[in-house]
Amino acid sequence: MKIIEAGIPGCFIIKDQIFEDTRGYFFESFNKKDFEKLTGLVIDFVQDNQSHSVRNVLRGLHFQRGIHAQAKLVRVLQGTVLDIAVDLRKDSAFFGKYLAVELSAENAQQLFIPRGFAHGFVVLSDHADFFYKCDNYYHKESECGLKYNDPDIAIDWKINEHHLIINDKDRNNFSLNELLQNNLI
């Protein structure tokens, strides 16, 4: 396991050693002891989630508030996505800034996103299977969302907005200013 700081403190790109032969490949996708040693973080993942999406689907930007906030370890099992994490930690020098990482089955990279971030992704391939571990359980009442096209953040999703497939719930997420005004972060 190789850990690389991803540009915003607390976020890490994880590259695992892949063993390939004529049968295919094998790699250890998570090792708690190695993760904690290399990052200095103590993480107890309690929930795994998986989604399947088609090209141009944008999911996000989601987060949970307060004591129900979640750290996530995300990866792609099939296909390619542009993964986005937006820093919502008010005391962070990177508040309102985003991190964009291309994750694919081919590059087998993972992204660790700490608590205090909004998270989302857009599918760049014909379809993608997205998998992630969470260190806190889903809590519906604490669920919240950041607007994918907030001009104050100006995320480059790498796809023309007219081609994006977004559900109504995600279209109606809050802007960063609305989150602040309504004391949601």
Give the active site residue among 98, 119, 132, 148: 132
* 137 counts as catalytic: no
The catalytic residue among 52, 62, 137, 139 is 62
- Annotation says 98 is catalytic: no
Rounded Cα gap, residues 122 and 80, in angstroms: 9
Active site residues: 62, 132
